Structure 1
């Protein structure tokens, strides 16, 4: 696939806002979801079920969680970098958490998401 079509594919994932059907439709069956060590529930999760497991642990710890994308940046034929901020809120406190996601697209589907994020801010908000 081209850099433009990979970027459009990754963009669809973010615009779906966590819709389980869209995640299952668009991602590779062997998706690797790699969350920064030190981030709440950081670790490596596999497949759409792993993504749902991750968010199933995270979401009960906050009142709300938004992902605000600031830019999509294709790199070569198989990678898309996404830059933005998470906006978790808990107990009427919210603080932006910077992130960069590196997506690898394989055989027309996002196959790997590698996250780099401000773990300290996220942990502080989740544990407040």
Structure 2
């Protein structure tokens, strides 16, 4: 069975550099919460599962649309073990994925990220799919990560 490191080592989709935005510029104002969430995306980009888990609270809730349950990728996973389980399942249905966060919006203990992901099916077809990630933070750790996206498009890609 693939491990969480397998997902992070999976063949990546062709990558385009992220679209610059005002809040991703080097001199943009920042906060501890924004820095934490940026560190999560950097860990994804480096395929570093341990660095990703370091950003997450031990009791994190990792939430994906129920519409992905057919691939064992839907619903809520709990804790680091749940995140590892989720990450180990992804390479069984995808050939690769690269996240491109494009806009970060912070409000109190929440950071919402708008972006696109380059997703490659196991058969080699790549698509750019939009996502919204809603992160909730407490005491310097992410306690909730909710992934919001069009599950119909994702299903079509997986089945292609």
TM-score (norm 2): 0.73
Mapped partners of 1:67, 1:113: distance in 2: 14
Aligned pairs for 1:21-40 (under 5 A) are 21-39=50-68, 40=71
Mapped partners of 1:32, 1:124: distance in 2: 27
By how many angstroms is 1:25 displaced? 1.8
Provide the residue aligned with 2:101 in structure 1. 69
Measured against aligned partners, the alpha-carbon deviations of 1:75-128 in whole angstroms (never above 9, x if no partner) come to 12x000011112111223111121101100011111101121111111111122
Alignment root-mean-square deviation, CA: 1.4
Which aligned runs of 4 or more in structure 1 are off by greater than 4 angstroms? none
Mapped partners of 1:47, 1:23: distance in 2: 12
Provide the residue aligned with 1:82 in structure 2. 113
List runs of 5+ in structure 2 lacking aligned partners.
Answer: 1-29
Provide the residue aligned with 1:6 in structure 2. 33
Residue 19 in 1 paired to residue 51 in 2? no
By how many angstroms is 1:52 displaced? 1.5
Mapped partners of 1:92, 1:27: distance in 2: 31
TM-score (norm 1): 0.90
Mapped partners of 2:94, 2:53: distance in 1: 24
Q: How many residues align?
A: 125
Greater CA radius of gyration, 1 or 2?
A: 2
By how many angstroms is 1:73 displaced? 1.1
